[in-house]
Structure 1
Amino acid sequence: MGVAIRVADGDDRELVVRLLDEAFQDDPVSGWVFPDPAHRLATHHKLMAAFADVVLAEGRVDLAEDGSACALWLDVPAVDHGGADGEAQDEDGPAQLRAAVDPENERVELIGRLTAEVHPSGRAHAYLWMIAVSPERQGEGLGGALLEPVLDRCDREGLAAYLEASNARSRALYERLGFVVTGGPLDLPDGPRMWPMWREPRTAQQLTG
């Protein structure tokens, strides 16, 4: 399907946060981070805002022109984690996120640490941090349509892509787009399963064959 897409900027922050909040309210991982429904309703948007701010500042947010969907991307270089400064920054990030979003909730910090541990670091890649589709528009193919332009760029440039699928439905979508589970699933303590997924760039022969 054809979807008009533009790159979001700071003026779109409120829309992006609302999309993320609404799309992930019932997600298994969000339910694990915020197990109490009332607390999740009151606090979840703060976590989504923190994510949106990082990507608006350091990455790229692709936004459907009609405001129905968005995708958050970061370009991740090949990193050698042997540097002490980099390690300190990685260690501080989840703790800072918890302090800003929900200081009494250790799971806000834990989800950041666990996903960081499984994130590949040896090769440069495009990282799909999150993709959100308005609940009333889910099932229309918007997610795949929103991702295709970036994946096409990855194929042209020989760039891999990576994500963590947070539910079985999204995993199935990503598999159709060429992602495969890498390194095994991530089982959250007393919680749901996530699937780290990697996509090798497709060659011209693969695309035409």
Structure 2
Amino acid sequence: MGVAIRTADEEDRELVVRLLDAAFQSDPVSGWVFPGAEYRRKNHHKLMAAFTDIVLDEGRIDITEDDSACALWVSVPAGEHGGADEDKEEAEDEGFARLRESIDPGNERIELIGRLTAEVHPAGRAHEYLWMIGVTPERQGEGLGTALVRHVLDRCDGEGLAAYLEASNARSRDLYRRLGFEVSGKPLDLPDGPQMWPMWRDPRV
């Protein structure tokens, strides 16, 4: 049976934030950014809200019709990310600093995760960037995340577009491999924390 998918709008903001917050409470990278279960419960949702706002403004959020899963995508033009443009890098750094200040000023890892993932994000070719994907915990393992990703990958294949993401745990890394992604370069080792895997997928013809 197919999974019906719709595009989110501003009215879906709180739903998306709740989905992402619940889905990533036990994720290794979220645990590194917000160490300790109680601290994470109090603060993690603020970062998910900030990410949701950015993607609602700059990208697209897909949601399953039953409101149990969502995927955040941003279209990246050719030449963006990872370049040597000092003005652009400075603007990115300022953005990460503002993000930290608005969420939890004392938590340097909020700013650091943004800087580190920006450094490994590939430049050159245009691509679709899967920023985050979240499935409510009680529905995980049912193929909803796969359906959301394939929904965009089918379009990428039709338009000759690549896709990129950073896998935040080994389970998702292996799932993305089955969808045609390959680890791109070395894993990203978070300081005193887990690994992330930058992954790239060329369009299939």
TM-score (norm 1): 0.95
Within-5 A mapping of 1:39-118: 39-79=39-79, 81-118=83-120
Moved more, 72-81 or 26-35: 72-81
Residue 94 of structure 1: how far off its partner (Å): 1.1
What's the CA shift string for 1:169-188, capped at 9, x where partnerless? 11111000000000110010
1-structure distance, mates of 2:111, 2:87 = 20
Residue 124 of structure 1: how far off its partner (Å): 0.7
Structure 1 gap segments, 5+ residues each: 204-209
Q: Give the partner amino acid of 1:156.
A: G
Q: Give the partner amino acid of 1:34.
A: F
2-structure distance, mates of 1:30, 1:156 = 34
Structure 2 gap segments, 5+ residues each: none
Residue 195 of structure 2 is aligned with which of 184, 193, 196?
A: 193
2-structure distance, mates of 1:40, 1:177 = 31
| Alignment root-mean-square deviation, CA | 1.0
Q: Tell me how many residue pairs correspond in the alignment.
A: 203
2-structure distance, mates of 1:83, 1:182 = 22
TM-score (norm 2): 0.97
Residue 161 of structure 1: how far off its partner (Å): 0.2
Residue 9 of structure 1: how far off its partner (Å): 0.2
2-structure distance, mates of 1:107, 1:88 = 18
Please name the residue that 1:152 is paired with.
154
2-structure distance, mates of 1:24, 1:93 = 23
2-structure distance, mates of 1:92, 1:202 = 37
Residue 114 of structure 1: how far off its partner (Å): 0.4
What's the CA shift string for 1:62-85, capped at 9, x where partnerless? 001110000000000122634443
**In the alignment, does 2:196 pair up with 1:179?**
no
Q: Helix, strand or coil: the match of 2:26?
A: coil
2-structure distance, mates of 1:11, 1:111 = 28
